[in-house]
Chain A
Amino acid sequence: MSELLPQARPLETLEDVARDLAPKVRETLDAMEERIDAFLTSVMGESFEERMKRIDLHLGAGGVDAFGMDPKWVKYGYFAAAVLYRHYFRCEVTGLENAPAGRVLFIGNHSGQIPLDAAMIGSALFLEGNPPRVIRSMIEKWTQTLPFVSTFFCRMGQVVGVPENARRLLESEEALMVFPEGAAGISKTYDRAYQLSDFGLGFMRLAIETKTPIVPVAVVGAEEQYISIGNLSSLAKILGIPALPLIPQLFIPGGQLPLPTKYRIAFGAPMFFDGDPDDDDSVLEEKVWTVKTTIQQMVNDGLSKRKGIFF
């Protein structure tokens, strides 16, 4: 018996240390939170908090909504995004009046290797939308297997891209962001910049089924934030990730940050579709094609109007 005792001890001390440490860590975090909040208000102005309060969050007793969105995380997330939105990408937004209240599907072109386009569209609707909205995007299932990333997305109100989730959100009058190009869109190489790749049909089926207006969104400026010259798709497959873009700037010190391009975000007029959600794919394809060409046209307009990539 006595040989067993020394083995038991380290575990016990570890438990004790953890138990002693936990309240102190929580105290420090709480103190930090207050200071961050004060800083946040001083930077963003009172209107930021004001906008946060205007959003109907449907929180449960657990402090999060049905999908795990936490207003605290949303606040800090949008704060970080707002800094990028105003000072880094200096977003220029048009057509915000096209975003209706109630259920809506925002369909956009996906670009830029990392989903900053979603963050900027979200910021536009949060900071300048009337009423302010918190959009929920449909994210890649794969992200759920990543530590921190999965928790961050979930607390920020992002949901796994399965139809059941989308239906549930729309039925509770939420704003949903979908990039029908998916991973193929965001990981485009530069030679295919601003050429929309194939659209999935799922969003159209959903829009018809739930009678949701579709608002087309075009983002210009994100393609140039990371210039990808190729995609190591077979290596990506081995690693179990959707894409592995080759981005030369990552090897230059400081190049890990996206280039400070100017984002131009355009919201188009809402589009309404009806019919049978279980229609033949060819019928749905036609409707999807209408949305895709609208977005492509908006992207082309944005490209022809801009005078420079950075200004």
Chain B
Amino acid sequence: MGTAPKTILVTGMCGRLGQLVVRELHRTHRVIGVDRRPFDRLPADVAHHEVDLRKKKVRDIFRSEKVDAVIHLGVMHDPRKSSADHHSWNVAGFAKLLGYVAEFGVKKLVMLSSSNVYGPQPDNPQYLTEDAPLLGGANFSDIRDLIELDHLAQGFLWKHPNVSTVILRPVHIVGTVRNAASNFLRLGVVPTLLGFDPLIQLIHESDVVRAIVHAVESEVRGIFNIAGPEPIPLSRIIERLGKPTLPVPTGLAKAALKRLWNMRLTSFPAPELDHIRYICMVDDARARHDLGFTPAQDLASTIEAVNWGRW
């Protein structure tokens, strides 16, 4: 995609996905990163501002640079931080960012949401479209921040027709990234819920990076589910990873996980168990047709990527 070089501001640049996005973009575009964390082996032509999104300094960046596009990856979901901290960081930070995008005439906004905002439910249609309600927070409160950001971005999408806003909702990302799904699949023995084996959609991190880059460079605006290769039952993923499973009755698993969580022995909150009980799958037809994005990695290489991020 040969497009004119742009100045792109990336929030949450120092996360694993952020680093990959920056490395992909910095050769063709000017990249400015905003992140409180340090960046390991930062490319020399990337400017890094170690500031909090909520600080006034971010406004100065927008004032002094002519930013063409903003990629928002800076969503914090550390389940161990207090929810008040999260909320302020995530919602206040993003609201400020949206303000700058409108004020300084930024033409493109890409926000990375997640398919988890729909939430696993027993009565989910097999493939959820972008119009499905975001019910992910019904049982699992930690996703509520992301849902709120998604809604903020949607509001912005409709209120500002001159900004080409894109909301990406990828399925479970695997690779070097650290998120609940890939951490779960990296366990030595993978616990499952006895008698449940939902279909799962995974996507390779390189495909997500491609989708983000594609969204930045295209003129299209809207909300897009981003899926990887074909869905596969959870048990088959674990089988292909060559790992033993430990099927646990649902009631027992919930009770045990609650105890472990309270004793701070696990990073998996009990309501997340619904993800290995019910389906939460998306229809990515809109991304394929309107955005022109199709995943490049097949199922085998996507599953293999789970092992990349082993500690």
Contacts and interface: CB of A to CB of B under 8 A. Distances in A.
Looking at chain B's contact residues, is the secondary structure mostly helix, strand, loop, or mixed?
loop
Contact of A19 (B195, B244, B298): B244
Nearest to B244: A22
Interface stretch (B46-54, B216-224, B229-237): B229-237
Given A19-B189, A19-B244, A62-B236, A162 B125 contact: yes
B14 to A, nearest CB: 33
B232 A63 contact: yes
A144 B230 contact: no
B199 interface: yes
Interface residues of B, number: 31
Interface in B158-215: 188-189, 193-197, 199
Contacts of B233: 62, 64, 68, 70
Nearest to A145: B122
B123 A144 contact: yes
Interface in A60-100: 60-64, 66-68, 70
B250 interface: yes
B232 A60 contact: yes
A274 to B, nearest CB: 26
Contact of B230 (A60, A145, A147): A60
B267 interface: no
B196 A151 contact: yes
A21 interface: yes
A165 B123 CA distance: 11
A160 B245 CA distance: 27
B246 interface: yes
A61 B124 contact: no
Interface residues of A, number: 32
A160 B126 contact: yes
Given A15-B188, A160-B124, A62 B230 contact: yes
Interface in A126-162: 141-142, 144-151, 154, 159-160, 162
A96 B194 CA distance: 39
A164 interface: yes
Contact of B122 (A15, A21, A142): A142
B229 A64 contact: no
B104 interface: no
B195 A151 contact: yes
Contacts of A159: 126
A148 B232 contact: no
Contacts of B129: 164
B232 A62 contact: yes
B123 A148 contact: no
B199 A168 contact: no
Given A64-B232, A68-B199, A147-B193, A18 B244 contact: yes
Nearest to A150: B196
B299 interface: yes
B89 interface: no
A168 B254 CA distance: 34
B189 A66 contact: no
A35 to B, nearest CB: 21
Contacts of A145: 122
Interface string A159-201: 1101011001000000000000000000000000000000000
Given A62-B231, A151-B195, A160 B250 contact: no
A20 B157 CA distance: 54
B131 to A, nearest CB: 10
Contacts of B126: 66-67, 159-160, 164-165, 168
B127 A168 contact: yes
A260 B188 CA distance: 49
16 contacts: A15-B188, A18-B189, A22-B245, A62-B199, A62-B230, A62-B233, A63-B232, A64-B232, A67-B126, A142-B122, A144-B278, A146-B195, A151-B197, A160-B123, A162-B125, A168-B126
Given A147-B249, A164-B127, 11 more contacts: A15-B188, A18-B189, A19-B244, A21-B244, A60-B231, A61-B232, A61-B299, A62-B232, A62-B299, A64-B231, A66-B231
Interface of A: 14-15, 18-19, 21-22, 60-64, 66-68, 70, 141-142, 144-151, 154, 159-160, 162, 164-165, 168
